[in-house]
Structure 1
Amino acid sequence: MIKNPLNKIIASFSKKEKISIISQDKNEKLSEFINFQEVEKVYKELNSLIGLDNIKELVKEIKAFVIIDQKRKEKNLFTEPLVFHMIFSGSPGTGKTTVARILGKLFSSLHILDSGHIIEVERADLVGEFVGQTAQKVKSKVEEALGGILFIDEAYSLARGGKKDFGKEAIDTLVKAMEDHKNDFILILAGYKEEMEYFLMSNPGLKSRFPIYLEFRDYSIEQLMQIAEIIAQKRQYQITLEGKRALYNILLRNQLTNDNRNYGNAREVRNIIEKAIRKQALRLSNHHYLSKEDLIYLKADDFKRL
């Protein structure tokens, strides 16, 4: 017997129409917990980055977990919040800070974090010079990060120093904050791979508190070329074929002559493009008439002596 007038109306629909209504109702329930429009923006921003396939896969997993977790709640099944504290390991210029900012937006749109803002700090922001300073500095930064992400770059530097160094106190205070504010913020520690592995061994209870370990691999020369084109296009420049050959040779030379640890990756590519733009400006400065194409193209000469 159908008592609800709405149910009576739905009963008269076809099976396909009923499924459509039920699906819409479920999506409306999920939309109370997930801002799908913002999630799509995050996907778009992340997918615009070259490489980072393991990070892109993680984002899919996090979204899927939140959806399934909510469905389990609707079925009165046991649920427990996952811990999202992370380790980012990799060379400078491989996108660690950029990804941390994107993840802040993701966690906010999924209602994992209240705001998703990011507080970026380094050793000097956490370690004091006198007794009592360090714990207070760490607590202050944690409080700033509540509802968002606390991102510590070159985190391994906290474990350096002798017996009189307060880096260990900073680590101990962070560990306590992770327990006291378990679901209130996400801690991301970033740095070189080898140093981060040593750092995690500096405190017995540290490694187990970071279930997500992401390696940011160095870009290939082909990927760096793609990044260079994107950087140029955003500034409304284009690189000629000869210019691309010159840039490729620069990247190849840098990769062969530099220690990979110290090679700047995407950051270095941005610097090269900016230098080439200045070289182009110098090359064109004495011309009385310049076409639109003249102002757009970066040529091989603009990449020489970089």
Structure 2
Amino acid sequence: MNGHDSSGTTNATRPSRQINVVLRSQEAYGTASTAQPLESDPLPSVKPLPSSDHYAEIQKELEPMVGMENVKALVYEIYALLYISRMRSEAGLFGGSHVYHMIFKGNPGTGKTTIARIVAKLFQKMGVLSKGHLIEVERADLVGEYIGHTAQKTRDLVRKALGGVLFVDEAYSLARGGEKDFGKEAIDTLVKAMEDNRNGFVLILAGYPAEIDDFLQTNPGLPSRFPIQIDFPDYTVDQLIQISELMAKDRDYILQPQTIFKLRQHLMLEKVATMFSFSNARYVRNTIEKAIRHQAVRLLGQYASGVPGKQELMSIRPEDLKWDGK
């Protein structure tokens, strides 16, 4: 990823008004009793939860991520739901059985895979998933070459994902081949696996927003199976600059002011020129890594018979930023 961020903890713990997330119970609602317990009625004793704060480690991973306030708020909502549901169960109250399958909508380089890993870790820490690992797949991993091959490949991957998260990138590609394409068989197998292993794994489908919306319309039963849907917006130029500086810092490099100015001008033009294919933080990462290579060549030429100082070894100058044809 994927992008990094400097947001503080308050954004992660404050639910965002922009989120449109519904966490539905898998079980039908029963007849509710009209009688309300008095405040003085004693509840069964609640076993104390583990003293360690499971969210603290997750929060440390979320904090340095640029933007994504709606994602951070959603992750905290899931944590809060899991925590309170456990307390309710231990107090003798109905804890519910929630569905956590998700849809991630966003362009490349917006952090979908990184957030999927964080979500898997959170579910493992809170006891929802036994392993918390992430299995990342795409169409070629699921679709076979002959009848029956796709179902077997898909079931094998689901088996590997049990106890963790199965992350299907560009999931809409499964429905692009029409009725006779084996991709439909992969979809049907995944849907059946969701029913057969209701609490055994979490399925996350990811891809471009418009394509994902079209994909969900191919099967009337799909949208209701993914109650958590979240958008990963493109980064602004300011956010991309922030990401680039953090990426450089992580590698013990510094972008000089004129370097940042040059990068900003380029990103403004590139985002417009490649509106539908711009890869966001991934593009910035590739740019920084290429600049580091160019800096190495420049320093080797300048200091063939000497040793550059520490500041020079760390500095990325404007001439180190190069793009194809520019």
User: Same fold per TM (> 0.5)?
Assistant: yes
> Corresponding residue for 2:75?
59
Question: What RMSD, in angstroms, separates the aligned Cα atoms of the two structures?
Answer: 1.5
Distance in 2 separating the partners of 1:116 and 1:186:
10
> Corresponding residue for 2:256?
240
Corresponding residue to 2:289 among 271, 274, 287 = 274
Q: Contact 1:36/1:109 (CA < 8 Å) preserved in 2?
A: no
Matches within 5 A, 1:82-93: 82-93=98-109
Structure 1 residue 81, shift from structure 2 partner: 2.0
Aligned length: 277
Aligned to 1:294, the other structure's residue is in SS state helix
Distance in 1 separating the partners of 2:272 and 2:192:
44
> Corresponding residue for 1:159?
175
Distance in 2 separating the partners of 1:249 and 1:49:
23
> Corresponding residue for 2:227?
211
Distance in 2 separating the partners of 1:237 and 1:278:
12
> Corresponding residue for 1:199?
215
Distance in 2 separating the partners of 1:224 and 1:74:
45
Structure 1 residue 40, shift from structure 2 partner: 1.1
Corresponding residue to 1:291 among 297, 305, 309 = 309
Could you tell me the TM-score, scaled by structure 1's length? 0.87
Structure 1 residue 74, shift from structure 2 partner: 2.6
> Which of the two has greater helix per residue?
1
Cα pair distance change 1:304/1:125, threshold 3 Å: closer
1:130-168 Cα offsets, whole Å, 9 max, x none, are 111111111111110000000000000000113321111
Corresponding residue to 1:112 among 103, 128, 143 = 128
Q: Gaps spanning 5+ residues in structure 2: where?
A: 1-44
Q: Contact 2:101/2:203 (CA < 8 Å) preserved in 1?
A: yes
Matches within 5 A, 1:87-106: 87-106=103-122
Distance in 2 separating the partners of 1:289 and 1:100:
44
Aligned to 1:131, the other structure's residue is in SS state coil
Cα pair distance change 1:42/1:150, threshold 3 Å: same
Cα pair distance change 1:113/1:305, threshold 3 Å: closer
Cα pair distance change 1:38/1:76, threshold 3 Å: closer
1:12-55 Cα offsets, whole Å, 9 max, x none, are xxxxxxxxxxxxx96x7211xxx844431111101111111111
Say whether residues 1:29 and 2:51 are aligned partners: no
Aligned to 2:123, the other structure's residue is in SS state helix
Cα pair distance change 1:169/1:305, threshold 3 Å: closer
Distance in 2 separating the partners of 1:186 and 1:36:
25
1:216-242 Cα offsets, whole Å, 9 max, x none, are 000000000010011101110001111
Aligned to 2:189, the other structure's residue is in SS state helix
Q: Contact 2:83/2:126 (CA < 8 Å) preserved in 1?
A: no
Letter of the 2:129 counterpart: L
Matches within 5 A, 1:160-175: 160-175=176-191
Structure 1 residue 95, shift from structure 2 partner: 0.4
> Corresponding residue for 1:258?
274
Structure 1 residue 305, shift from structure 2 partner: 4.5
Distance in 1 separating the partners of 2:145 and 2:222:
24
Distance in 2 separating the partners of 1:164 and 1:86:
27
Distance in 2 separating the partners of 1:256 and 1:138:
39
Identity %: 51
Q: Contact 2:295/2:316 (CA < 8 Å) preserved in 1?
A: yes
Q: Contact 1:246/1:304 (CA < 8 Å) preserved in 2?
A: no
Distance in 2 separating the partners of 1:37 and 1:73:
19
Distance in 2 separating the partners of 1:163 and 1:188:
23
> Corresponding residue for 2:319?
301
Q: Contact 1:87/1:190 (CA < 8 Å) preserved in 2?
A: yes
Distance in 1 separating the partners of 2:78 and 2:179:
40
Letter of the 2:286 counterpart: N
1:102-154 Cα offsets, whole Å, 9 max, x none, are 11111111111111101011111111111111111111111100000000000
Say whether residues 1:141 and 2:157 are aligned partners: yes
Higher Cα Rg: structure 1 or 2? 1
Q: Contact 1:39/1:110 (CA < 8 Å) preserved in 2?
A: no
Structure 1 residue 60, shift from structure 2 partner: 1.1
